[in-house]
Amino acid sequence: MRYGVKVAYDGSRFHGSQIQEGTDLPTVEGSIRSALVRIGAIGEGNKISFSSRTDAGVSALGNVFSLDTDFDKDELLKALTANLDGIWPWGIGAMRQEQNVRWADGRWYRYHLPPEPLDDGSIISITNALSVFVGRHDFRHLCKLEAEKNTEVEITRAQAYDVSGSGEMVMVDIMGSRFLWHQVRRMVGAALCVKDGDLTEKDIEELISGGDLDDELKKKRDRIKTMPPIGLVLIDVEFKDVQFVPSVEALELALSSMQEIAWRSSMNIVLRSALQSLRIALPR
């Protein structure tokens, strides 16, 4: 039976999602494959396939991998979660035997901007720049090119919003059918360039028109920063014909294993906020 498994992971602990042949670098795929072999769900020579490739440092809440197994579906996620560290499978759904997990209906990425306060005008500027990307465009100038890869991508949503109320926690949601290598991080970098005055919305329109760039636009493109992977999370991969059923037991195991990590992270936020308050209180 072929299953799709929804999986979350802490990208800072891995050198990407895909196995890097000829190296001993820890990857999400390698860790999951080893765990599946350990619990007897697959054999040594069997492989799994991921819907979306993520780079080193990029995290996920809802990436999907597929596997063929006769392991008890109701026990698989719990057994797998108990044998993994930094990876939390939490949902499972039956797929067609010939179904290719790469052919998803949609993908949703979220980029968490660095925690530097942004005013309302800056957030509006970022959102306006991101809105230019909505629709079908050619992203050859805003990605890391791969040979013979189709660079036309349809973006269905691109928006920035402040969840903190103070401009210190601004997120960017980008949704589309598929994405190119580094595309999301370059899109965010381009929007920040518009906010900083290094690009205009018209420049972005020209960059995604698919045409050749003149020297002036090449210089502007080269100012665009590929944002660090630490801020990027693959929130979800959508399959309209696969119903993923969450496992309460697997989620409980995941939350238990993350408790100390979350505690440490929350303390860092508390300390940073306290230092920010001290800085504001200091005389100029």
At 281, the pLDDT band (50, 70, 90 cuts) reads confident
Residue 229 DSSP symbol: G
Instruction: Please state, in angstroms and rounded to a whole number, the distance separating the CA atoms of residues 159 and 253.
Output: 33
CA 159, CA 149: separation in Å to the nearest integer?
26
Query: Does residue 280 form part of some domain?
Result: no
Question: Could you confirm whether 55 is annotated as catalytic?
Answer: yes
**Are residues 139 and 115 both part of a single domain?**
yes
Mean pLDDT of 227-252: 94
**Residue located via tokens 């805003």:** 142
Return the CATH number at 110. Answer: 3.30.70.660
Tally of domains within the chain: 2
Same domain for 24 and 143: no
Question: Are 139 and 201 members of one domain?
Answer: yes
Pair 131, 183 in one domain: yes
The reply to whether 70 falls in a domain is yes
Say how far apart CA 130 and CA 98 lie, in whole Å.
37
Q: Do residue 91 and residue 121 come from a single domain?
A: no
Is residue 85 within 8 Å of residue 26, measured between CB atoms? no
Q: Which residue has the tokens 């050198």?
A: 15
Residue 279 within a domain? no
Whether 166 has a pLDDT exceeding 90, the answer reads no
Domain assignment present for 117: yes
Rounded CA-CA distance 126/267 in Å is: 29
Q: How far is it, in rounded angstroms, from Cα 134 to Cα 121?
A: 21
Tell me which of 30-39, 100-109, 191-200, 255-264 is least confident. Answer: 255-264
H or E element in which residue 221 lies: helix 215-222
Q: Residue 284: its pLDDT value, please?
A: 67
The CATH number of the domain where 255 resides is what? 3.30.70.580
- Would the pLDDT of 69 be above 80? yes
What are residue 7's DSSP bridge partners? 63, 89
Residue 162, in any domain of the structure: yes
Written as six digits, the tokens of 192 are 């920040």
Residue 112: which H helix or E strand, with range? Answer: strand 106-112
Tell me, yes or no, whether 281 lies in a domain: no
Average pLDDT over residues 27-49: 94
- One domain, residues 207 and 155: yes
**In this structure, are 166 and 125 located in the same domain?**
yes
Same structural domain, 23 and 51: yes
Is the same domain home to 162 and 223? yes
Do the domain assignments include residue 226? yes
Give the residue numbers spanning the domain of 112: 106-233
Residues 169 and 258 in one domain: no
**Closest C-alpha to 269, from 123, 165, 161, 164:** 164
| Dihedral angle of Cα 203, 204, 207, 208, to the nearest 10 degrees | -150
Gap between the Cα atoms of 227 and 86, Å rounded: 23
> Residue 190 has what pLDDT?
97
Q: Answer yes or no: are the C-beta atoms of 9 and 86 closer than 8 Å.
A: yes
Q: Do residue 137 and residue 207 come from a single domain? A: yes
Among 143-147, 173-177, 250-254, the range with the most confident prediction by mean pLDDT is 173-177
Q: Is residue 166 part of a domain?
A: yes
Residue of 55, 138, 173, 198 marked active site = 55
Q: Are residues 96 and 72 in the same domain?
A: yes
Q: Which amino acid is at 166?
A: S
Q: Average pLDDT, stretch 216-244? A: 95
Quick: pLDDT tens for 111-129: 999 988 899 999 999 999 9
